[in-house]
Amino acid sequence: MRIEQVSDSVYAVRGTNVNWALVSDGSGVTVIDAGYPADSGDLLKSVREIGHQLSDVAAVLLTHAHLDHMGGIPALVEATGVPVYTGAAEVPHARREFLQQITPLEMVQQLGSLRGARWVFQTLRAVTWHIGMKIPSATSTDAQTLAQLPGGLVAIPTPGHTVGHTSFLMPAEGVLFSGDTLVSGHPIAPHAGPQVLPTVFNHDEQATRAAARSLAAYDAEVLVPGHGDPVREKVSVLANSLLQDRDSH
């Protein structure tokens, strides 16, 4: 685990090839995403390491219901009873009424490269037999609820990676939490830097690109992605330039 403070109130936390974020103010903590199941202990530890108790956690915001982003939620809910919010279209996904994520066959296909094989084995260890995990307490977020949480966040619908993927903006500090819509790296990606995830991870590739492009409309100078390092640059510049490059290939 690695914790990086990216603004006055925001901490980006690196887990097992995935990130979560903590938004801290005098009223408590908002957790955004939660790593893999194997990251559960580090998720709880990260809250304490920024000077809070678990009882200070006001809510978990889930960008999307993939195992590498929701794995630590059951431990946090068990410890605190904290509510879990996500986009309306993502609620049934979190409850596993349907599933949109990389298939076992697609994972096997990644074994053909060294970086792919390394990622597959790291992922299998991080899932730790929790492949069937679901979040039955997940509910839909709304503007009023978000405004009352630490950080005063705003939801940005960014469907594509999953049908209900949601990014979050903290206007007060110009921080955008992009989940897996716009990232800055991934173990199987051929290069580092802001980018869209490899196609195999996206439920709808065209919609994912459109969602990432839409982030250019928001006033943010720090990007906290679901994978890769935080990026301190205007998100409008990142989204426009990188997506034009992606679409040209």
Q: What is the CATH number of the domain that holds 70?
A: 3.60.15.10
Percent of all residues in the chain with a pLDDT value above 70, rounded to a whole number: 97
Task: Collapse the DSSP code of 4 into the 3-class scheme (helix H, G, I; strand E, B; otherwise coil) and give the result.
Answer: strand
CA distance 130 to 143: 32
Sheet holding 154-157, edge to edge: 154-157, 166-170, 175-179, 222-225
Query: Which DSSP state fits 37?
Result: G
pLDDT at residue 243 is higher than 60:
no
Report pTM. Answer: 0.95
Rounded-to-integer distance, Cα 37 and Cα 73, Å: 8
Q: pLDDT tens, 110-129?
A: 999 999 999 999 999 999 88
Confidence of residue 249 (pLDDT cuts 50, 70, 90): very low
Q: Residue 197: what are its φ and ψ, rounded to 5°?
A: -60, 155
Instruction: Give me the pLDDT at residue 245, please.
Output: 57
User: Which tens digits make up the pLDDT trace of 204-234?
Assistant: 999 999 999 999 999 999 999 999 999 999 9
User: Which residue range forms the structural domain that includes residue 109?
Assistant: 2-245
| Alpha-carbon Rg for the chain in angstroms | 16
Among 53, 18, 58, residue whose Cα is nearest residue 38: 18
State CA 81 to chain mean position distance: 21
Per residue in 35-52, pLDDT tens? 999 999 999 999 999 999
Report, as an integer, the average pLDDT of 165-190: 97
Q: How many domains does the chain have?
A: 1
Note the Cα 189 to chain centre separation in Å: 17
Cβ neighbours of residue 231 under 8 Å, at least 6 residues apart?
184, 194, 222, 223, 225, 238
Percent of all residues in the chain with a pLDDT value above 90, rounded to a whole number = 91
